[in-house]
Amino acid sequence: MESITSYIEEHKQRFIDELVELLKIPSISADSAFAKATTQTATAVADSLRAAGCDTVEICETPGYPIVYADKMIDPNLPTVLVYGHYDVQPPDPLDLWDSPPFEPVIKKTDKHPDGAIFARGACDDKGQMYMHVKAMEYMTANGKLPCNVKFMIEGEEEVGSVNLAWYVARNQEKLANDVILISDTGMIANDIPSITTGLRGLSYVEVEVTGPNRDLHSGLYGGAVANPINILSKMIASLHDENNHITVKGFYDKVEELTAAERAKMGEAPFSLENYKEALDIAAVYGEKGYTTNERNSIRPTLDVNGIWGGYTGEGAKTVIASKAYAKISMRLVPHQDWEEITELFKTHFENIAPEGVTIKVTPHHGGQGYVTPIDSLGYQAAEKAYEKTFGKTPIPQRSGGSIPIVALFEKELKSKTILMGFGLDSDAIHSPNEHFGIWNYLKGIETIPYFYEYFTALKNS
Ligand code: BES
Ligand code: MN
Ligand code: MN
């Protein structure tokens, strides 16, 4: 029986090589041109789980991309950990901003990752983090160190809203029954400041369309006399925040949970340098809702952001035209108690109400999900905390994240269990951006920490 540290030392090159192979497959769930590669990734993940010692391995077909389910049930009297992750990735564009091709992984050193980082789309979100669990499983089964039952559920549609997973979970409650859900798909503060994510924001994502005249018009002949959809859309969007950067959608804040002064003070203790934050982004000042700090703005407060806006002529040179239509994609990040479907309705009503005469409005909801907060006094959190203490030599800081994993709230509703978010990425790892990467140190640290979670969780559960 080998210790996890010596096992990693002995096998780390293979661990890296295997992840590099997985990262070469362009599993872009949003783009149907990559359907074959995405499906192929499910097979690769299933094969890796079989090799890691899972007894049951299934590729569950859905109307979309398959869900990989695997388990190893050693004793019905022991607790069961359900691991969730996703094998799909975000589209890599804009391609010209990548220093190396997104699906040809390269390892390079960076300031934050002196031991090197793997650069590729999905390196951190989430193939690299998901694969830590596969390798931790390999270690546990190969060394007689698996203390409990394990189930894996790895999906291929997280980046497009997990619609088919929601369907699958609702229909497979017994099969997915567990004592705790474990996910590595978030980040931590820094390599020397470990943290565990205790909250995720909800999301409502909508697309809006403003239609003016029935055709594109000459901007001289008609300009000034009819509503220009692009002008109108810009004005409408600008009105969605007031002078304090509060969101003006009627009813938007009604259910927002205000944290107590004590909770906010506790949050404020987490190490954070505004100077470094600004420097990392090349900005002279931060910007946001009045009365809240940067860390509050991006975690405990809801937001509204335009993610894309288009219409009219955007080609080379100039064309004098009033476009018939203008469009925008808008996301709202929500906090616990705000219901995403209700917020979507409120937005729709508000947006229709603020439109001037002379244009028509269409609001199309895309996907969404509820926010999530996990208590820090649960057995799962305590086990995770002890695991980090063991491998980082420090107590991790509980921290709410601004990102969303909508399926987590659904897990709680359908499977009645808490999720522990053990993420090992850094905010600077550029997930969803060009040059996404994942630190080799972080990858190996994750593999090292996970088996301790299993050990401590089982011990706490049995005590
Ligand atoms: N892994 C991310 C979410 C995340 C990253 C949470 C870092 C916390 C810290 C996930 O893959 C993601 O990108 N989620 C989407 C939502 C989804 C519905 C497309 C997001 O947050 O935009
Ligand atoms: Mn993810
Ligand atoms: Mn993502």
pLDDT tier at 420 (50, 70, 90 boundaries)? very high
CA of 11 to the centre of ligand 1 (A): 30
Which residues lie with the beta carbon below 6 Å from any ligand 1 atom? Answer: 125-126, 158-159, 161, 185-187, 200, 203, 367, 401, 403-406, 431
pLDDT tier at 99 (50, 70, 90 boundaries)? very high
Q: Which ligand is nearest to the CA of 159?
A: 1
Q: Which of 457, 443, 417 is nearest to 8 (CA)?
A: 443
For a pLDDT cut of 90, what percent of the chain falls above it?
97
CB within 8 Å of 83: residues ≥ 6 apart? 133, 150, 151, 152, 153, 154, 181, 182, 183
Q: Is residue 399 over pLDDT 90?
A: yes
CA of 45 to the centre of ligand 1 (A): 20
Mean pLDDT of the chain: 97
Which pair of tokens denotes residue 316? 């080379």
Q: Which ligand is nearest to the CA of 200?
A: 1
DSSP 158: G
Q: For residue 278, what pLDDT is reported?
A: 97
| Integer Cα distance of 146 and 24 in angstroms | 30
Cβ–Cβ < 8 Å for 399, 198: yes
Torsion of Cα atoms, 213 then 219 then 221 then 227, to 10°: 40
Q: What is the mean pLDDT of residues 53-65?
A: 98
Q: Which of 48, 78, 24 is nearest to 154 (CA)?
A: 48
Residue nearest to ligand 1 atom 18, measured at CA: 161
The CA distances from residue 268 to 61, 96, 149, 265, in Å, are: 45, 38, 38, 5
**Got the DSSP string for 23-35?**
HTS--BTT-GGGH
Residue nearest to ligand 1 atom 4, measured at CA: 403
Q: Which ligand is nearest to the CA of 425?
A: 1
pLDDT tier at 1 (50, 70, 90 boundaries)? confident
Q: Is residue 282 over pLDDT 90?
A: yes
Residue nearest to ligand 1 atom 10, measured at CA: 405
Which pair of tokens denotes residue 398? 């509980």
Mutate to test the pocket of ligand 1, among 126, 157, 158 (most ligand atoms within 8 A of CB): 158
| Integer Cα distance of 160 and 249 in angstroms | 25
Q: Is residue 463 over pLDDT 90?
A: no
CA of 323 to the centre of ligand 2 (A): 37
Neighbours of ion ligand 3 (CB under 5 A): 125
Q: Is residue 69 over pLDDT 90?
A: yes
CA of 212 to the centre of ligand 1 (A): 35
CA of 46 to the centre of ligand 2 (A): 19
Classify 69 as helix, strand or coil.
Answer: strand
Q: For residue 35, what pLDDT is reported?
A: 98
CA of 404 to the centre of ligand 1 (A): 5
| For the CA of 427, the nearest atom of ligand 1 | 7
| For the CA of 86, the nearest atom of ligand 1 | 11
Amino acid at 148: C
Q: Which ligand is nearest to the CA of 121?
A: 3
